[in-house]
Structure 1
Amino acid sequence: MLHAICVKIRGIAVSEINNNNPASQPKSATQSVEPLVKVIAVVATLGGLLFGYDTGVIAGALLFMKHDLHLTPATTGMVTSFLILGSAFGAISAGRMADRLGRRKIILIMAVVFLTGSLGCAMAPNVELMITFRFILGLAVGGAAAIVPVYIAEIVPANRRWQFVTLQEMMIVSGQLIAYVSNATINEIWGGEETWRWMLGVACVPAVVLWVGMLFLPDTPRWYAMHGRFKEARDVLKRTRDSRYVEREFNNIRSAVKPKREKSAQRNRTISVWMKRLVALGIGIAMIQQLSGVNTIMFYAPTMLQAAGMGTNASLIATIANGVISVLMTFVGIMLLSRFGRRPLLLTGQIGCTCTLVAIGLVTLLMPETVNGDPNMIRCWLVLAGMLVFLSFQQAALSPVTWLLLSEIFPLSIRGRATGLSVFAMQITNFTIALLFPTMLDHFGLPACFLSFAAVGIAGGIFVILCAPETKGKSLEQLEKHFREELQPSARV
């Protein structure tokens, strides 16, 4: 049964998407992007920048914080992972509230939480408060991760959705790169035990900019329409669309929104079976992105490089390469998405990441740690090179497609909740890995860690082959119609 459902999901609308018949192509294929759309995307994705900075900055801060706060392997894992635990609950809470209060209001709230959490972490006097404020900061990280892609996907034209939603991934990796550069710079200029406080406090600046910017931006036309506010929906479309396309898209959105009476009755029932199947798919897609082990590299790269034999300064500087390659390969991923579908890139990314993990595992297993009593630098540089190749596949294919699919596949009536639930599953997976990794590294070593992630990656590749859908070239309303028709219980399986 599961295989049959996956086959249906995977094959969804492929015939129409790949059809060369002009009648089957989206009518907005040549629609240009209005300036306000670009402003909205840049401001909203500051949430992604903060996501990236706050997850990446801990990689360097841990090297100094562990002495000041007397961290053990267990508390190191907690300081790192409690942000992710908070992000899981932030995602699911923000997803539910976004359907009720609006995407814009939730992003405004998240900006305030970002500011509060960043200040709290920077001033934490002990490990208990550090863990507490990392959890609070995580609420904002998860909320931004769940809602910003939905906000952008609902407000940009269908033919440019891939480009602007993946801007969120670009901002995440840019935030991580800024964190790595900031860590190395602060250490070089003000090196000392308290430098980690400045590293963590820098995030206050983009949090303020995000809050101020969102004050002047509208909510999405689809959210307004879902709540019967059709005048505001049309007004937003007039500001974000070429005038030739406003009425056509407004009518499509309005026809996709259920009458208020039916919508009220639906709140009192469980969601449809076909929607549950899509939520299960979204959870699976979200989890395999984290099960690749990507955030062990983003969070613990300096720690792993130190374990491989590098010094503190060298490991901090080398980690900048991870950020640079992530940004560059995200640009590559955006270009690839304009030519290829979601499904081929997702599979390419999964296979590439898994093969690279096997290679790193074999290098750390077979090569000696020391040569004539000194660290084996060839082994160190091969581990770093393996990380860079891994991130190339991750950021050019796996990550951007994951975020894009999560913004596309869910129907309007549950989009916020379903995206939040998927990101919740993603971040719970991330939390578990981040919490256990220091202990795994301490007890089993680098080879066992990398080869374990590779084994899980094989299972993830099988999931992609069986279940990953292709959504390229369809509006959100067209995708909802196709999924409903194909996944209804009455459909032949």
Structure 2
Amino acid sequence: MAADTENTDPPRGQSAEHVQLDDKMEATGINSRVILIFIILGFGSASMGYASSIIATTLSQPSWAISMNLATATNAVALIGATNGLYYTGGAFGSLFSGYIVHKYGRKKCAALAALIILISSGIIAGSVHIAMFITFRFFQGWGSFQMLSTIPMWMAELVPPKRRGLLVQIHPAMINLGYTVASYTGIGFYYYSGHNNQWRGPLGLAGLFPFLFLVCMHWVPESPRYLLSKNKTDEAWAILRRLHYNKNDPEHLFAKRELYQIQQQVQVDTSQAARTVSGNYAMIFKTKSLRRRAMISAFLTFAQMSSGALVINNYGGLIYQSLGFTNGAVLQMQGGYQITGWVMNTLSMFIIDRFPRNKLMSFGFAVSGVTVIIEAALQKHYLGTTNRSGLIACAAMLFLNVTCLGLFVEGVGFTYVAEIWPTYVRGEGYAIGMCSLCVASIVWLQSAPTAFANIGWKFYIIFIVFDALAAVVIWFYPDTRGKPLEEIAVLFGDRDQVAVFQSDLDDDRALRFVDEKSGAMEIENSGHEAEK
């Protein structure tokens, strides 16, 4: 039975559970074009990672404190704290701003603007002549970084098919950690350079490298087909889907045709849903029950990620390692090793993320993280301030084990999950809520950590143990999004009537064909059983 292409009301909630997809129709999601695209998008991710992490080694540079007149300043501690606090405050604003930009102007323009902000602010920070100038543009650097962070994983998720979505979106956290690593070792290199008293400026200036590469190469990155179809740009969307899903085993581009048809039908449903409320803004999210639930899930997940202990260890690792009795040189090397561990684990996670349910993987990761923090707290209680070399090394080793389990099971899965659970018409705003929550958590812990370590020491870890345990329990009951088309995620939140068509209906017993190649209009010819319309 052919679908009526003139009908403006799309078929709702079709399902054919007895239908099995033909493996030959599955797109691999990986070809040379896709790999190039994701490497370029990874430059955007690394932009955020480098800008976020480079402050750690900057604060360790004696020449920086001298240049900023902080060596004798009575409010030096507060001003140093502000370099982190203002960065994440800017990040909160940048996250929320991105929700508006991606919805109105698209993912590509939003990311380009973010890269430009990072590039300009990084240059001004490197050339700062006083602390007020430095802190002010750390705010804008944070704005651009989190505008980028709120755009890239969502954009990635919209470019790949369900079966490979986790693997490819995992490139995002891997590249963030690459940015961390490059920043760490750049800072170490300049720390040992004693030929000039302004050696702190070089690493900060290099924060512009990744956004520059991103801007130069982004010509080869396509806009999200889902965004284009929401703006009735069918020809552009079809051309992109055909190239993205090219597979020599699918010469007729059947998978791309199926996805185009499904997105087209879903856009009609989404447009109808958005028209009944406040189209494309944050008010809609908090007025709609299922969207409000997704907002709570996103906010809790990202807040829990930042409350697992890894954020504090990443930013204040130098203080922690110093308290364990390591020399300055050893501290810098351990900081670098910690970043490499995170990068390697996030890269390895690419090969497991699509093999296990998303919720169970994250829950397990938080549980193991909690165990490592418990052991860390116990070790520090007994060995901190002693000369027991084995005990102090065990303390450091447990920090590395913590980032190992979070990198493998939590970080990348969390970014992917928050991108997956939102419908296209509010995905930008929804993802931004999650990233804003991440910034809020970062501000809370980064501002309180130095004082907490100084006054209560190992007891500060108890807070992270509680969050890890809570997250492990709560996230276990989250719905699993693994392998599901983005257009069908609504079913997991009780919105079956908001799914226009299921991919399982587009099986090998039906042939999709274009009615009008130019307009992209399509119909389904059913050569086998008939689906209930």
Normalising by structure 1, we get a TM-score of 0.89
2:159 matched residue in structure 1: 155
Q: Secondary structure at the match of 2:222?
A: coil
Alpha-carbon distance in structure 2 between the residues aligned to 1:192 and 1:295: 32
Find the counterpart in structure 2 of residue 349 from structure 1. Answer: 365
Q: CA deviation at 1:339?
A: 2.0
1:23 counterpart = 2:20: yes
Which residue in 2 is equivalent to 1:462?
473
Partner of 2:503: none
The alignment of Structure 1 onto Structure 2 pairs a total of residues equal to 464
Distance change >3 Å, CA 403–CA 28, structure 1 → 2: farther
What corresponds to 2:329 in structure 1?
313
**Distance in structure 2 (CA, Å) of the matches to 1:32 and 1:431:** 37
Identify unmatched segments of 5+ residues in structure 1.
1-15, 489-493
Q: Deviation of residue 193 (structure 1)?
A: 5.0
- 1:67 Cα deviation (Å)? 4.5
Alignment partner, residue 9 of structure 2: none
**2:200 partner SS:** helix
Number of the residue aligned with 1:491? none
Asked whether 1:42 is paired with 2:39, we answer yes
**Cα 1:192–1:340 shift into 2, 3 Å:** farther
Counterpart residue identity of residue 39, structure 1: L
Matched, 1:207 2:218: no
The structure-2 alpha-carbon separation of the partners of 1:80 and 1:32, relative to structure 1 and needing over 3 Å to count, comes to: closer
- Please say if residues 308 and 379 of structure 1, whose CA atoms lie closer than 8 Å, have aligned partners that are also in contact: no
Per-residue CA deviations over 1:382-427 (Å, capped at 9, x if unaligned) read: 2221110000011001111100101100011100000001110111
Q: Which residue of 1 aligns with 2:446?
A: 434
Instruction: Show the counterpart of 2:528.
Output: none
Structure 2 gap segments, 5+ residues each? 1-14, 247-252, 499-533
1:293 deviates by: 2.1
Equivalent residue number for residue 258 of structure 1? 268
Deviation at 1:486, TM superposition (A): 6.2
2:171–2:347 CA contact under 8 A, matched in 1 = no
Specify the structure having the higher radius of gyration (Cα): 2
The 1:104–1:293 alpha-carbon spacing in structure 2 relative to 1, beyond 3 Å, is same
Distance 1:344 1:53 in 2: 30
Looking at structure 2, the residues matched to 83 and 389 of structure 1 have their Cα atoms a distance apart, in angstroms, of: 28
Code of the aligned partner of 1:40: I
Is the contact between residue 354 and residue 482 of structure 2 (CA under 8 Å) also seen in structure 1? Answer: no
Q: Is the 8 A contact 1:369 1:379 kept in 2?
A: no
Q: 1: distance between equivalents of 2:369 and 2:284?
A: 38
Cα distance change, pair 286–24 in 1 and its aligned pair in 2 (3 A): farther
Q: How does 1:298-337 map to 2 (within 5 A)?
A: 298-337=314-353
- 8 Å contact kept, 1:28–1:245: yes
- 1:291 pairs, out of 287, 300, 307, with 307
Please tell me whether the aligned partners of residues 96 and 420 of structure 1 are also in contact (alpha carbons under 8 angstroms).
no
Cα deviations by residue, 1:97-146 (Å, 9 ceiling, x for unpaired): 10111000001101101101211221122222211111110011111111
User: 1:360 aligns to what?
Assistant: 376
2:3 maps to which residue?
A: none
Q: Is 1:400 matched up with 2:416?
A: no
Task: For 1:253, give the aligned amino acid.
Answer: I
1:55-104: CA deviations, max 9, x gaps? 22122111113444317332222112321221121111112210111000
Q: CA deviation at 1:334?
A: 1.5
SS of aligned partner of 1:340: coil
Partner of 2:520: none
Is residue 81 from structure 1 mapped to residue 85 from structure 2 by the alignment? Answer: yes
2:402 maps to amino acid? F
CA contact (8 A) 1:117 1:137 kept: yes
Relative distance call for 1:93 and 1:347 in structure 2 (3 A) is same
Query: In structure 2, how many angstroms separate the alpha carbons of the residues matched to 1:26 and 1:172?
Result: 34
Match among 249, 253, 256 for residue 246 of structure 1? 256
CA RMSD, Structure 1 to Structure 2 (Å): 2.3
Matches within 5 A, 1:65-144: 65-69=64-68, 70=70, 72-144=76-148
What amino acid is aligned across from residue 340 of structure 2 in structure 1?
A: V
Q: Distance in 2 between matches of 1:26 and 1:78?
A: 54
* Identity of matched residues, %: 21
Q: TM-score, normalised by structure 2?
A: 0.82
- Residues 477 and 52 of structure 1, relative CA distance in 2, 3 Å threshold: same
